[in-house]
């Protein structure tokens, strides 16, 4: 089990799928009004087409319906029409007159008829929807080819095609039934072909539909119904595989290039395209390599995030960028080749003097930092980070009392980890980073928590990891290492006392977790064998419950005890006051040693005196020294 890798993985961005703002835009309301008016005209004028199945609507009927609409509020809300106060609010539902109008428009656009359509989504109803779409697409294609220079000849067929595509949106409610039929009928191929339609609005209709069809929340699955969930997953897999066969990634990225975000509809279209990428990658993360290899998406995303103005699409682009680099060396290297490190550092430099203006921009900043952390998992990116003066920027961010300070500490942790971080560690000390690092460790300028059982903050975890990397990577007897050791001696060993305080708090949390695990072991039936899987799960819980903090703290304490006699004497005295000794540190390091994967050393490097020792070798040497004390 590689504990280092386990705790070097940045969090996945965001919780849940990103959505567009809920407030309807003027364009959305205009479209709903037009659809509503068109539907009303169709009912009033289409009595003959129904062939007697629906009675004609008379003037008296319309008047009765109008009166009914005034008597009953949408959704049957009795407080809907309660009198408003002077500021346009009212005490019942809390809606203004403008919001009431919006609800009325939606009530007309999505009424009982739409609900009935969803209820009729059986095999026959699905085939009818697909047949209607096929006829509309064929008719539009035919009229466009006959009259390419006369839009008046094909504008009606284009409107019918727009309506037919939107009518397919309810298919997302029955994926297990609809998706195989969509693929088998060949209509998916025809649908994907419309992404190159001369009218961008038709292509945007298709993009919106694909975003809905590939959403992870498609279908109405009851929680716990595993069979229904499996059927949905199988249907979604069928759909995504068929989309990939139709070169969906290439077509969507091509559409990114022809959309103009100054237009509201195009802006939403780009949002939906990014949504399709998120949906597909969420279903199968391995496809991220295919997306980057076969398209220019990396270039587009980097250009989009470096925009000066912030909006939803910029934030979404940062999130997709972060997803693409998760656990993917090839994409990370492509990111480096596209000058991604320099671009992200330029973006982050603006947060040295100011904080994000709102929650959306704060999330954007977080995703940019996480993207950089993911990329720094590769030695090649560490080199680019160093050449782009990334260390100097992070040290500057640490000195400021801004939101970016915490994230800068995290980035430095990733940049300095492993043997590939040796140069970064030396540059960090030269950039006077130790002063800011230990100030953060001591909590200067922040209120100390009185609850000793509170888990160590994320900042403390990254700070300890940075110090651990410094001891692992800085050459012995080098000026940088001497300056590091001096920090633990100054002010009567206050940093050593701080480490012991952190260790004690982590141990208190670990006692609670160990007690819970012991109870679970007792609840196991007599004679039931505990397998390796259970042991691994319990070990992970112990790491999260304080053991990881103890291991990192004891690793640092072992180093300074071995390299400085004064520190060792003070450490022994402080441990004795708590009825503990260096043997307690040895036990923790022993657990650490047993759970670190052995790194394979190439035969040609095995006897090289200049070879950097592995983590397991370092732990073995520290344990041996402490045992001899």
Q: What is the b/e burial string over 444-456, where b = at least 16 CB atoms within 10 angstroms of the residue's CB?
A: eeeeeeeeeeeeb
Q: Dump pLDDT digits (tens) for 290-331.
A: 999 999 999 999 999 999 889 999 999 999 999 999 999 999
The pLDDT value given to residue 457: 73
299 and 277 share one domain: no
- Give the CB-side neighbour count of residue 321, counting CA atoms within 13 A: 35
Tally of CB atoms within 10 A around 301: 27
Residue 434's pLDDT is what? 96
CA-nearest of 497, 512, 433, 500 to 467 is 433
The tokens of 32 are what?
Answer: 């709903």
Instruction: Look at the alpha carbons of 350, 351, 357, 359 in this order and tell me if their dihedral is positive or negative.
Output: positive
Q: Tell me the per-residue pLDDT of 452-502, one tens digit each, with 9 for 90 and over.
A: 333 347 889 999 999 999 999 999 889 999 999 999 999 999 999 999 999
Lowest mean pLDDT, pick from 20-24, 203-207, 223-227, 620-624: 20-24
Helices 615-628 and 582-594: angle between axes, nearest 10 degrees: 160
Instruction: Report whether pLDDT(84) > 50.
Output: no
Do 446 and 408 share a domain, yes or no?
no
Closest CA to 313 of 299, 325, 327, 303: 303
The CATH number covering residue 313 comes to 1.25.10.10
**Residue 173 and residue 126 in contact, taking contact as beta carbons nearer than 8 Å:** no
Range of the domain at 192: 117-284
Same domain, 446 and 557: yes
**Whether residues 385 and 402 fall in one domain:** yes
- Would 212 be classed as within a structural domain? yes
Q: φ and ψ at 54, to 5 degrees? A: -130, 130
Higher pLDDT, 9 or 518: 518
**Whole-angstrom Cα distance, residue 517 to residue 533?**
14
The residue ranking higher by pLDDT, 521 or 495, is 495
pLDDT more than 90, % of the chain: 62
Distance CA 358, CA 405 (A): 17
d(CA 487, CA 438): 8
220 closest CA partner among 121, 123, 130: 121
pLDDT, residue 600, reads: 61
Q: What is the spatial distance between Cα 504 and Cα 497, in angstroms, rounded to a whole number?
A: 11
The span from the CA of 33 to the CA of 31, in Å, is: 5
Q: What is the pLDDT of residue 27?
A: 52
DSSP conformational letter for 449: P
Structure tokens at 249: 């990634």
Residue 354 lies in a domain: yes
Which residue has 């992404």 as its token pair?
Answer: 195
Of 284, 318, 350, the residue at which a domain comes to its end is 284
Same domain for 261 and 229, yes or no, is: yes
| Residue 338 predicted with pLDDT over 90 | yes
579 by DSSP, 3-state: which? coil
DSSP state of 14: S
Question: Are both 144 and 177 inside the same structural domain?
Answer: yes
Tokens of 100: 């009431």
Same domain, 497 and 589: yes
Judge contact between 386 and 439, C-beta under 8 A. Answer: no
Integer Cα distance of 123 and 585 in angstroms = 67
Paired residues of 84 in beta bridges: 90
pLDDT at 44: 44
Compute how many other C-beta atoms are within 10 angstroms of the C-beta atom of residue 109.
17
Residues 218 and 250 in one domain: yes
Question: Would you say residue 573 has pLDDT above 60?
Answer: yes
Domain match, 138 and 174 both: yes
Cβ contacts of residue 578 below 8 Å, gap of 6+? 504
Task: Tell me, yes or no, whether 17 lies in a domain.
Answer: no
pLDDT band at 448 (very low <50, low <70, confident <90, very high): very low
Residue 112 pLDDT? 41
375 assigned to some structural domain? yes
What distance in Å separates the CA atoms of residue 480 and residue 425, rounded to the nearest whole number? 9
**Residue 586 pLDDT greater than 80, yes or no:** yes
Q: Give the tens place of pLDDT for each residue, 260-273.
A: 998 999 999 999 99
The residue out of 416, 432, 464 marking a domain boundary is 416
| Mean pLDDT across the chain | 82
Say how many Å lie between the first and final Cα of the chain, rounded. Answer: 30
Q: What sections of 284-378 are H helices per DSSP?
A: 287-294, 297-305, 312-325, 329-337, 340-349, 359-375
Whether the Cβ atoms of residue 245 and residue 201 lie closer than 8 Å to each other: no
Phi, psi values for residue 10, rounded to 5°: -65, 155
130 domain-assigned: yes
* 165 and 186 together in one domain: yes
Q: Residue 219: helix, strand or coil by DSSP?
A: coil
Whether residues 459 and 579 share a domain: the answer is yes
Note whether residue 64 is domain-resident.
Answer: no
pLDDT in tens, 94-149: 556 665 565 555 455 444 444 344 447 788 999 999 999 999 999 999 988 888 88
The tokens describing 278, both together, are 């998120």
pTM: predicted TM-score of the whole model, two decimal places: 0.77
Give residue for tokens 């994967």. 597
Least confident of 40-44, 94-98, 447-451: 447-451
- Tally of domains within the chain: 3
Residue 531 has a pLDDT of: 79
- Cα–Cα distance for residue pair 257/566, rounded to 1 Å: 65
In a domain, 132, yes or no: yes
CA 236 vs. chain centroid, Å, equals 21
The domain boundary, picked from 416, 439, 471, lies at 416
Instruction: Specify whether the CB–CB gap between 306 and 263 falls below 8 A.
Output: no
Which position has the token pair 């697909």? Answer: 130
As a whole-number percent, the residues of the chain with pLDDT over 70 amount to 75
Please work out, in degrees rounded to the nearest 5, the angle formed at the alpha carbon of residue 247 by the alpha carbons of 243 and 253: 110
**Whole-angstrom distance, CA of residue 550 vs CA of residue 484:** 20
What contacts 37, CB < 8 A, 6 or more positions away? Answer: none
- Tokens for 590, please give them: 């022993």
pLDDT in tens, 366-399: 999 999 999 999 999 999 999 999 999 999 999 9
Provide the residue count of the chain: 629
**184 and 232 fall within a common domain:** yes
In a domain, 269, yes or no: yes
Report which of 267, 358, 372, 248 is spatially closest to residue 316, judged by C-alpha positions.
Answer: 267
Q: What is the mean pLDDT of residues 422-437?
A: 95
Render pLDDT for 211-251 as a digit per residue (tens, 0 to 9): 999 998 887 766 667 888 888 899 999 999 999 999 999 99
């Amino acid at each position: 089990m590689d504990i280092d890798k386990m705790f070097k993985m940045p969090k996945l961005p965001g919780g849940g799928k990103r959505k567009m703002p809920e407030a309807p835009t003027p364009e959305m309301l205009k479209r709903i009004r037009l659809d509503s008016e068109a539907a009303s005209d169709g009912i009033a004028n289409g009595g003959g087409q129904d062939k007697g199945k629906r009675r004609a609507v008379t003037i008296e009927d319309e008047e009765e319906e109008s009166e009914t609409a005034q008597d009953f509020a949408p959704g049957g809300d009795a407080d809907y029409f309660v009198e408003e106060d002077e500021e346009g609010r009212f005490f019942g539902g809390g809606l203004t007159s403008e919001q009431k109008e919006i609800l009325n428009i939606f009530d007309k656009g999505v009424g009982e008829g739409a609900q009935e359509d969803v209820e009729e989504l059986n095999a026959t109803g699905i085939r009818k929807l697909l047949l209607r779409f096929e006829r509309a697409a064929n008719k539009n294609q035919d009229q466009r080819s006959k009259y390419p220079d006369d839009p008046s000849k094909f504008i009606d067929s284009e409107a019918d095609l727009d309506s037919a595509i939107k009518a397919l949106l309810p298919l997302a409610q029955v994926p297990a039934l609809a998706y195989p039929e969509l693929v088998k009928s060949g209509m998916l191929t025809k649908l994907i072909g419309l992404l190159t339609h001369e009218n961008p609005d038709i292509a945007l209709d298709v993009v919106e539909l694909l975003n809905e069809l590939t959403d992870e929340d498609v279908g109405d699955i009851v929680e716990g119904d595993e069979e229904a969930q499996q059927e949905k997953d199988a249907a979604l897999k069928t759909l995504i595989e068929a989309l990939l066969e139709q070169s969906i990634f290439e077509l969507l990225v091509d559409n990114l290039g022809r959309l103009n975000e100054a237009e509201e509809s195009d802006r939403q279209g780009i949002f939906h395209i990014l949504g399709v990428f998120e949906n597909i990658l969420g279903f199968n993360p391995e496809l991220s390599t295919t997306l980057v290899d076969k398209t220019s998406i990396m270039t587009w995303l980097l250009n989009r995030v470096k925009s000066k103005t912030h909006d939803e699409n910029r934030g979404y682009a940062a999130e997709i960028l972060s997803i693409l680099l998760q656990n993917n060396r090839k994409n990370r290297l492509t990111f480096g080749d596209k000058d991604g490190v320099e671009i992200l550092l330029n973006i982050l430099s603006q947060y040295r003097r100011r904080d994000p203006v709102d929650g959306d921009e704060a999330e954007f900043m977080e995703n940019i930092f996480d993207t950089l952390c993911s990329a720094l998992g590769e030695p090649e990116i560490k080199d680019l980070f160093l050449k782009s003066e990334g260390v100097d920027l992070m040290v500057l961010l640490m000195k400021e009392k801004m939101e970016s300070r915490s994230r800068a500490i995290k980035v430095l942790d990733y940049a300095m980890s492993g043997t590939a971080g040796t140069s970064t560690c030396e540059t960090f000390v030269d950039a006077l980073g130790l002063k800011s690092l230990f100030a953060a460790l001591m909590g200067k300028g922040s209120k100390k928590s009185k609850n000793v059982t509170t888990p160590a903050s994320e900042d403390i975890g990254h700070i300890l990891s940075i110090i651990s990397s410094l001891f692992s990577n800085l050459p012995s007897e080098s000026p940088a290492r001497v300056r590091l050791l001096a920090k633990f001696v100054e002010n009567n060993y206050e940093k050593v006392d701080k480490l012991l305080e952190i260790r004690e708090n982590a141990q208190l949390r670990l006692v609670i977790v160990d007690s819970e695990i012991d109870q679970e072991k007792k609840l196991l039936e007599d004679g039931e064998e505990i397998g390796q899987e259970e042991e691994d799960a319990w070990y992970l819980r112990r790491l999260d419950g304080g053991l990881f903090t103890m291991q990192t703290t004891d690793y640092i304490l072992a180093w300074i005890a071995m390299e400085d006699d004064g520190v060792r004497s003070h450490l022994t005295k402080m441990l004795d006051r708590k009825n503990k000794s260096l043997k307690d540190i040895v036990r923790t390091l022993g657990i650490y040693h047993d759970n670190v994967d052995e790194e394979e050393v190439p035969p040609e490097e095995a006897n090289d005196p200049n070879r950097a020792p592995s983590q397991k070798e370092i732990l073995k040497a520290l344990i041996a020294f402490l045992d001899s004390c």
